[in-house]
Every structure is written in C-alpha cells, then in structure tokens.
Amino acid sequence: MKRLILIALLLSGPAWAGEARPLADDPAAEARLKHLAVELRCLVCQNQTLADSNAPLAEDLRREVREMIAKDMSDKEIIDFLVARYGDFVLYRPPLKATTTLLWVGPFVLLMIGATALIMTLRRRAHQVVDVPVTDEEHRRVEQLLAEGGKRS
C-alpha cells in the first residue's frame, strides 16, 4: 500500500517532474564545441558566429564539429579541416599571412606613428613657442565677443 501511494505521488503530475536534461549528450564535448564555435563564422548568415546561429547549415556544421570532437580530433585538426573546406572566411580570427600582415600590425604601427608624431611635434613646438602671451588676451576677447553678441540680438 505504502509503495502504491509513493508511486501515485511520483506520477501525480508536473510538480514531481525532475531536473531537465541538458540538450547535449556530452556536456564536455559541448563545452569544446562552444569554445570552437564562437570563433567560427556561420557561412550563410549576415554576420553571426557558428555558436549563435540558428540557420540549418550552422546546425549541420555544428553536428559535424561534434562528430570530429567525438573522433578525438584536436582543435587544430578540426580548424584545419574547416579551413581546407571553406577557406579563411570561416575564421573570425584571421590567420597571420602575407595578405593579412597589414591587418594585424596596422593598429600598432598606427600607434607608433601617432606617438612619434606627438613627441616630435611637441619637441619642435617647445623651440617655437616662447611663452603664453596670447591666452589671457584671447580669453578677454572671448568674454568681449560673447557680451557683444548678447547686446546685439
């Protein structure tokens, strides 16, 4: 009898239902998939990562990556495989090669140019400018102009 009540309670509806199952069978593999997929592009989408996209092709590609993970391929092997098939377009982190050198060094070259220009200009300026004879006068002019404008309208 006791056992029957227990079964009845267990079956008595949603309140007794348990913890939801994760969508993926193997959470560890899923974590690896996620880690890879955030740096991969969904090839048919406007601009979405493979991790975010719900497009059918992205679904297929994720399944393929899962299979490769199941086959115990390393991250590098998986990425090499995808690049061989789809080209560099699939990578959100462009590989460093001849055509992308400028892309990768550009920002730091820009910074160097900026910093050099800054220092050189300031050095040259220090020789040119003696002191600040203008500022006070200029400020007076500001006030004067502003006051004038107030009267005029």
Binding mask 74-113 for another protein (x = CB under 8 A): -------------xxxxxxxx----xx-xxx-xxx-xx--
Does 151 interact with another protein (rule: CB under 8 A)?
yes
Does 149 interact with another protein (rule: CB under 8 A)?
yes
Burial class (CB in 10 A: 0-12, 13-18, 19+), 139: exposed
Does 10 interact with another protein (rule: CB under 8 A)?
no
Return the structure tokens found at 74: 């390393």
Give Cα separations from 113 to 34, 101, 106, 117, 120 (angstroms).
38, 17, 10, 6, 10
* Nearest alpha carbon to residue 55 among 42, 67, 65, 36: 42
Residues 15-34 that bind another protein (CB under 8 A): 15-24, 30
Task: State how far the Cα of 112 lies from the Cα of 110, in Å rounded to an integer.
Answer: 5
Question: In sequence order, what are the residues at sequence separation of 6 or more whose Cβ sits closer than 8 angstroms to the Cβ of residue 52?
Answer: 42
CB of 36 to another protein, least distance (A): 12
CB of 139 to another protein, least distance (A): 6
Among 11, 46, 79, 120, binds another protein (CB under 8 A): 46
Question: Given the rule CB under 8 A, which residues bind another protein?
Answer: 13-24, 30, 38-39, 41, 46-47, 49, 51-52, 54, 87-94, 99-100, 102-104, 106-108, 110-111, 114-115, 117-119, 122, 125-126, 128-132, 134-135, 138-139, 141-143, 145-153
